[in-house]
């Protein structure tokens, strides 16, 4: 397993996963998958370019409830084992570890159902923490639903320490959630 920078050679695998009903967004589900498919089909090169956006030059972020919010600098890397496995993304604000209220954590991930329980997300998080360190972040915040045991295992295996509980804001569905911090020092 590796995390790759999105590029043409991997795009068909990504597209196929979306077409099979996998969604990179837990809450928006199939609707988010359809939107990404439409973006890929409309302009594959622009879609690939949009995956790595350290300048936050892209269009605003669509929150799960459809509201638009200011895009943060960030990128997505794709989890790859010879086929497309999922994605892991990092975003941040310049000069601070703080995040705006609509952005629940620095890192998000999703693995296609047919590649789950192979340790891929645990490994991918370890790898993207190197990217976070390289961007100058002294720590990252990751949040997950209280019910999401797999995600909590992933975070714990990478040194995450629980620092609080909260209810997600309504635009993110309101679920009871846990907040973790991983120090990168």
Among positions 68, 149, 161, 163, the unique one binding ligand COA when judged by CB under 6 A: 149
Residues 114, 16 contacting (CB under 8 angstroms) = no
Q: Which of residues 153-182 bind ligand COA (CB under 6 A)?
A: 153-154, 157
2 binds ligand COA (CB under 6 A): no
Measured from the CB atom, the residue of 29 and 136 that comes closer to ligand COA is 29
Cβ of residue 104: shortest distance to ligand COA, in angstroms?
8
Q: Which of residues 108-147 bind ligand COA (CB under 6 A)?
A: 109-111, 116-122, 144
Q: How far is CA 62 from the centre of its chain?
A: 14
Q: CA-CA distance, 52 to 89, in Å (whole number)?
A: 9
Among positions 151, 160, 172, 181, the unique one binding ligand COA when judged by CB under 6 A: 151
Residues 73, 54 contacting (CB under 8 angstroms) = yes
Task: Tell me the helix, strand and coil percentages in the chain, rounded to 5.
Answer: 35, 30, 40
Q: CA-CA distance, 182 to 155, in Å (whole number)?
A: 8
Q: Which of residues 43-102 bind ligand COA (CB under 6 A)?
A: none
């Amino acid at each position: 397993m590796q995390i790759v920078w999105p590029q043409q050679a991997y795009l068909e695998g990504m597209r196929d996963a979306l077409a099979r009903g996998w969604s990179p967004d837990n809450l928006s589900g199939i609707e988010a998958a359809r939107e990404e498919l439409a973006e890929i089909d409309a302009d594959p090169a622009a879609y690939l370019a949009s995956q790595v956006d350290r300048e936050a030059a892209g269009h605003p972020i669509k929150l799960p409830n459809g509201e638009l919010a200011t895009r943060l600098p960030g990128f997505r890397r794709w989890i790859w084992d010879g086929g497309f496995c999922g994605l892991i993304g990092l975003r941040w604000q310049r000069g601070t570890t703080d995040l705006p209220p609509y952005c629940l954590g620095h890192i998000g991930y999703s693995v296609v159902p047919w590649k789950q329980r192979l340790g891929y997300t645990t490994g991918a998080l370890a790898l993207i923490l190197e990217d976070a360190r390289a961007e100058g972040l002294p720590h990252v915040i990751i949040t997950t639903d209280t019910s999401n045991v797999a995600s909590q295992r992933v975070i714990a295996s990478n040194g995450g320490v629980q620092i609080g509980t909260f209810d997600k804001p309504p635009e993110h569905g309101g679920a009871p959630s846990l907040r973790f911090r991983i120090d990168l020092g």
